[in-house]
Amino acid sequence: MVSFKSYFFQASIVLVLLFMIMTPSLARLHVQVSSGEINDICSKTFNPSYCVELLKSTPKTATADLKGLAKIILDLARSNATKTLDHIHSLIPKTTDHRLKESYQACSEHYDNAIGDLDKAESDFKQGDYFGMNIQASGALDEAGDCHDENEGLPADPSLRKGNQDLEYICEIILVVANLLKGSN
């Protein structure tokens, strides 16, 4: 059986490879992203319905072009990861389970790294380095998977599992959008 982490690790490698060979035609930089394009973007992620719901529930996406969409999702990923990190910090002093405390501490490092990766993804994006943006977002995705693995078999707070999954799903959307941006160059 393929573990959760290696599943996402392999998936992120596949997405990086796809990035290098794909020359998508749907990307048009200064044109509003239509709902059809949102469906198209989301169909390339592991959880299309999560993606569609997230993008459609974020009001600014309605008037965004592809670059605008990229910025919105990068910000979403960063604020999501920051909130999860804050939550992890609040869990650490509350647990008396030594192994669980250690896993939360490891997760707090993974989230520090993930936030660092997302900051780099954003500066790469601003510089038009969409390949770098893709690599950094894959890094953040892997950090969420690492945190998930830290908690394997431990009575971890269920919201942490959701936080990891949310960050993975959101990072995947960044990967797809980075691919499209690269194709539109």
Q: Which positions touch ligand NAG (CB under 6 A)?
A: 54, 80, 83-84, 163, 166
**CA dihedral angle for residue 129, residue 131, residue 136, residue 142, rounded to 10 degrees:** 170
Q: Which is nearer to ligand NAG, 27 or 115 (CB)?
A: 115
Nearer to ligand NAG, 15 or 88 (CB): 88
Task: Tell which residue, 116, 149, 148, has the closest CA to residue 135.
Answer: 116
Supply the minimum distance, in Å, between the C-beta of residue 29 and ligand NAG.
25
* Burial category of 121 from C-beta neighbours within 10 Å (exposed 0-12, middle 13-18, buried 19 and up): buried
Q: Nearest distance from residue 80's CB to ligand NAG, in Å?
A: 4
Secondary structure (3-state) at 154: coil
Q: What's the closest the beta carbon of residue 66 comes to ligand NAG, in angstroms?
A: 20
Residue placing its CB nearer to ligand NAG in the complex, 37 or 166? 166
